[in-house]
Amino acid sequence: MRLGLIADTHGILRPSVHDVFKQVDLILHAGDVGSPEILDELALLGPVTAVYGNVDHGQLRRRLPRVATLELDGFRFVVTHGDQLGSPNPELLKEAFPKADVIVFGHTHRALIRDLPDFTVVVNPGAAGAARFDLGRSVAIMETEPGIPPRVRIVPLA
């Protein structure tokens, strides 16, 4: 399965996301969506599982969960913005979600891939929306197959 991982769009979906996600089976959005139209546009590329972030209010809070859990190719996924943990890091996230095999989060705007000692994969795809904190914009692509550890890479956005 090929997954598109995205977070922190803050109401902006760059055209380059369409190119990167054109052959994904599922999109996971880790919050701070910014507007419902972002989810509608992503849905044109594939099915979307999304959570709300700390800047998402109103309709997005009513429409989305704070945490989404799903099983894909035998792996237990958790998608969360992570703001409920302050400034989240992989260890705090694993402590909060001990049964997860893959944790996808946002909030920090910093792209990160971390393999934990128990083989959990923790991914922050970075921020796909407006540039902040002198950080580039990015998303991630993850590929899963039953019985094989997930493979993930960060993709910078133009």
Block mean pLDDT (10 aa), the chain, length 158 = 98 95 97 97 97 96 98 97 95 97 96 95 94 84 96 95
Terminal-to-terminal C-alpha distance of the chain: 25
Range of the domain at 79: 2-156
For residue 146, the domain's CATH number is 3.60.21.10
pLDDT the model gives residue 26:
98
**Pairing between β-strand 2-6 and β-strand 26-29 as defined by DSSP bridges:** parallel
Q: What percent of the chain has pLDDT over 90?
A: 94
pTM: 0.96
Q: Which residues pair with 75 in a beta bridge?
A: 72
Going along 73-137, which residue ranges are E strands? 75-80, 102-104, 112-115, 121-124
Q: How many domains does the chain have?
A: 1
Q: Which amino acid is at 9?
A: T
| Residues 6+ positions from 49 with CB-CB distance below 8 Å | 26, 27, 28, 29, 68, 70, 79
Q: Which pLDDT score is estimated for 69?
A: 98
